[in-house]
Structure 1
């Protein structure tokens, strides 16, 4: 479980981006590459401590492997007036 507020913000940004990309048609391999690049950029900028990045990586990978996170959200149906 993530406890550092800055790490939580990065986790939220990553997971939001992954869902957005999935809905735009990107697939698992492309999402994995995106996640790897994102984490690599965090490592190089040294914005977070390495143990926070490691924990963030573990949580983001767990999120990516859970297929329920990428289920399509049903759109509300509108009523059609046939009169």
Structure 2
């Protein structure tokens, strides 16, 4: 899992998060949506990809497409809980 980036400042793999997937429908859409939001807000592509990976990781632990998309605050909390 994870994402591959190729930018002028970084080319490589952004690791995904280990979760138990129950439904992967919508994972890519969730990643892209979260990734673009962070880019628009000024995050680096690496930061945005990490946020997108986290959002997608949460999404695959739930059933459904739209219903599985986590709220921003949930993704931020989830990332903070794994920062150590």
User: Under TM normalisation by the shorter chain, which class is it?
Assistant: 0.3 to 0.5
Q: Which has the higher strand share?
A: 2
- Rg larger in structure: 1
- Give the TM-score taking structure 2 as reference length: 0.34
